[in-house]
């Protein structure tokens, strides 16, 4: 577990590196990669993992770039009352129409953490 409140453990099981960057809509947010706060993107190599947090508390906007394909995602506490108890989750995902080369699975969801495993779709 990382040493900040919100954390998503992102695991890359895809064939190539995945660039993790801030969503440009979160203009003053900084991401935290394995405890290091930065405005710069992080390259997650195949077979590796990184704890990702943000300076926005329990919310973060990230852009995953893989094979030249950008996927914008908002991760955080699910605001829907149907989720009881509320858990850290994917709040919005621009790739939810099935486009893009990456698929993801969520595990170990708690109110302030989860594991996200990314894989190639094919």
pLDDT tier at 2, thresholds 50, 70, 90: very low
Task: Identify each DSSP E strand in the chain by its residue range.
Answer: 7-12, 18-22, 31-33, 36-38, 42-44, 49-54, 59-66, 69-77, 88-93, 102-110, 113-120
| Mean pLDDT (the chain, rounded) | 86
**71 or 50, greater pLDDT:** 50
pLDDT tier at 5, thresholds 50, 70, 90: low
Q: Is-contact 38 92, C-beta < 8 A?
A: no
The total of other beta-carbon atoms located within 10 Å of residue 32's CB is 21
How far apart are the C-alpha atoms of 2 and 23, rounded to whole Å? Answer: 22
Q: Is the pTM of this model over 0.85?
A: yes
pLDDT tier at 95, thresholds 50, 70, 90: low
Domain ranges of the chain: 7-120
The CATH number, out of the four listed (3.30.365.10, 3.90.1150.10, 2.60.270.50, 2.40.160.20), of the domain defined by the range 7-120: 2.60.270.50
Highest mean pLDDT among 56-60, 63-67, 95-99: 63-67
**40-46: average pLDDT:** 97
Backbone angles phi, psi at 88, to 5 degrees: -65, 135
């Amino acid at each position: 577990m990382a040493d900040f409140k919100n954390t998503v453990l992102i695991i890359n099981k895809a064939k190539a590196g995945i660039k993790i960057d801030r969503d440009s809509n979160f203009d003053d947010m900084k991401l935290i990669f394995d405890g290091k706060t930065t405005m710069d993107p992080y390259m997650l190599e195949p077979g590796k993992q990184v704890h990702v947090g943000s300076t926005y508390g329990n919310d973060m906007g990230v852009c995953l770039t893989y094979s030249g394909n950008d996927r914008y995602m908002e991760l955080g506490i699910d605001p829907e009352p149907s989720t009881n108890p509320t858990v850290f989750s994917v709040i919005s995902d621009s790739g939810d129409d099935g486009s893009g080369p990456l698929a993801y699975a969520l595990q170990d969801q708690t109110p302030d953490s989860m594991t996200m495993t990314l894989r190639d779709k094919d």
